[in-house]
Amino acid sequence: MPRMTRNMVILGAVLLLAAIAAAIVPMWVATAGIGLGGHAWAAIFLMIVGCFGVGGGLMFLIFYSARKGYDDAAGRSSRDDDRT
């Protein structure tokens, strides 16, 4: 990757991170005094576990499908089948 392109990608990532921080930090500071009950923490914990579970399960299915060759047929066109 050329040096200029790499620098532009880094600059874009830094600007995106700054924009996200500028949006999130004021909301976080505004809710600093609000306490959460046990049910709220349990819901947050279950949401985090569920998100990682779904993400991990989908990644497992992607790698499983690729290793077993289920994706090979999707990459071939009908013309490839006619040639064999």
- The per-residue pLDDT for range 46-75, each reduced to its tens digit, is 999 999 999 999 999 999 988 888 777 776
The pLDDT of residue 34 is: 81
The pLDDT of residue 77 is: 65
The pLDDT of residue 63 is: 93
The pLDDT of residue 49 is: 97
User: pTM, whole model, 2 decimals?
Assistant: 0.50
Which residue type sits at 17? L
The pLDDT of residue 56 is: 97
Residues 12-58 pLDDT 10s: 999 999 999 999 999 888 887 788 899 999 999 999 999 999 999 99
